C-alpha cells in the first residue's frame, strides 16, 4: 500500500538533502536504504546527496540518521547536521536554540543563530578528531597516518588520515586545477589502505587562515561541500604545519568557519543551512 511522506529539500553550501520528520510520521517499517536510493535519484526521484531522518532519542534531545544516495549509512555529516538542526527547530520538533543530537559518531551540540524566527546559521560542536590509524581506520605502519605516501594512477600523493566520526584522507596540493577529481576520487575511496572506504579532501592552502577544498565523498561522489571534511582538513593542516587552528574553508558551494579549539581539542563548525522547498512524495 502506498502512502504520502512529507519532506523538506534542504542544502548546506550546495550539499543537498531530503529531510524527513520520523517522529510524527511512521517510517520504521520502511527500508531506508531503498528509500534513500529512490528519493535521492536526480532523474526519477527528488534528487539529493542524502536522506536525513529526525527521530526520538533516549539519550539526547533528538536523533539524526543519515543515508547516502547509494543507500549506505555514514556515521556523520557536517552539512547534513546543520540542515537537520534548522529543520527540527523550524518544524517545532525542538524548541531550544542550543540542543544535543544523537548520531552514529556520538552526541553533537548545536547552537542556532536566528533572525526573525528563521535559522540563518548553525554552530556545531563536532567533538574531537580521531587520529589513531587503527581507529579511523587506515592501514599504516605508524600510530598516526600523517603525510603518508599513496600511489594513484602512477602518481604518488601524500595523505593525512583523520576521523570526524567518519574517515577522511586529506591531500594538500599546490594547485587544485591540476587534479582530475572524477578519476582520482573513486580510486582513493576504494583503495586497500582504507578498509571501510574513505572520504577524500584535496586542499590548497591560500594562507594560514584560509584554504580551498574539493571533496570526493564516500558513497556519494563529488559534492559541493563537506562539513566533516572541512574539519578534517584543518586538523591535517595543523598537523602538517600548513595552517592555524581557525580557518575559513572555501568549498565549491560556499565557505565554512572551522576552529580546532586548543583548550578542549574540539572542532567547531559554523555555516549556513537553507530550505529549498517542502513537499510530499508517494512511497
How far apart CA 275 and CA 17 sit, in angstroms, is 10
Residue 106 near residue 127, CB atoms below 8 Å: yes
Q: Which three cell numbers stand for residue 100?
A: 544535543
Helix/strand/coil (H/E/C) assignment for every residue in 50-96: EEEEEECCCCCCEEEEEEECCCCCCCCCHHHHHHHHHHHHHCCCCCC
Q: Residue 149: phi, psi to the nearest 5?
A: -75, 145
Spatial CA neighbour of 202 closest among 73, 226, 128, 194: 226
Q: Which three cell numbers stand for residue 180?
A: 582530475
Spatial CA neighbour of 255 closest among 247, 244, 243, 263: 247
Burial class, 76, CB count within 10 angstroms (exposed 0-12 / middle 13-18 / buried 19+): buried
How far apart CA 234 and CA 247 sit, in angstroms, is 7
Rounded to a whole number of angstroms, the distance between the first and last alpha carbons of the chain is: 8
Catalytically active residues are 77, 226
Q: Residue 141: phi, psi to the nearest 5?
A: -90, 5
How far apart CA 64 and CA 93 sit, in angstroms, is 12
Amino acid at each position: 500500500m502506498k502512502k504520502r511522506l512529507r519532506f523538506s529539500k534542504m542544502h548546506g553550501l550546495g550539499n543537498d538533502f531530503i529531510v524527513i520528520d520520523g517522529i510524527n510520521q511512521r517510517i520504521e517499517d520502511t527500508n531506508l536504504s531503498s528509500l534513500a536510493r529512490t528519493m535521492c535519484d536526480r532523474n526519477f526521484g527528488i534528487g539529493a546527496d542524502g536522506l536525513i531522518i529526525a527521530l526520538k532519542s533516549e539519550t539526547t534531545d533528538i536523533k539524526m540518521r543519515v543515508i547516502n544516495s547509494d543507500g549506505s549509512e555514514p556515521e556523520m555529516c557536517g552539512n547534513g547536521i546543520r540542515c537537520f538542526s534548522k529543520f527540527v527547530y523550524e518544524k517545532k520538533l525542538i524548541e531550544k536554540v542550543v540542543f544535543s543530537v544523537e548520531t552514529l559518531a556520538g552526541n553533537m551540540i548545536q547552537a542556532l543563530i536566528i533572525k526573525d524566527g528563521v535559522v540563518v546559521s548553525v554552530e556545531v560542536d563536532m567533538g574531537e578528531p580521531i587520529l589513531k590509524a587503527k581507529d579511523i581506520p587506515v592501514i599504516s605502519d605508524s600510530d598516526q597516518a600523517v603525510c603518508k605516501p599513496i600511489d594513484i594512477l602512477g602518481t604518488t600523493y601524500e595523505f593525512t588520515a583523520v576521523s570526524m566520526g567518519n574517515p577522511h584522507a586529506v591531500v594538500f596540493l599546490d594547485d587544485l586545477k591540476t587534479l582530475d577529481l572524477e578519476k582520482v576520487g573513486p580510486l582513493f575511496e576504494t583503495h586497500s589502505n582504507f578498509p571501510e572506504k574513505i572520504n577524500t579532501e584535496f586542499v590548497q592552502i591560500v594562507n594560514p587562515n584560509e584554504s580551498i577544498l574539493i571533496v570526493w565523498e564516500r558513497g556519494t561522489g563529488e559534492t559541493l561541500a563537506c562539513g566533516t571534511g572541512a574539519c578534517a582538513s584543518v586538523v591535517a593542516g595543523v598537523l602538517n604545519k600548513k595552517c592555524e587552528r581557525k580557518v575559513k574553508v572555501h568549498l565549491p558551494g560556499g565557505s565554512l568557519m572551522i576552529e580546532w579549539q586548543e583548550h578542549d581539542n574540539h572542532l567547531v563548525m559554523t555555516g549556513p543551512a537553507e530550505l529549498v522547498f517542502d513537499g510530499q512524495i508517494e512511497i
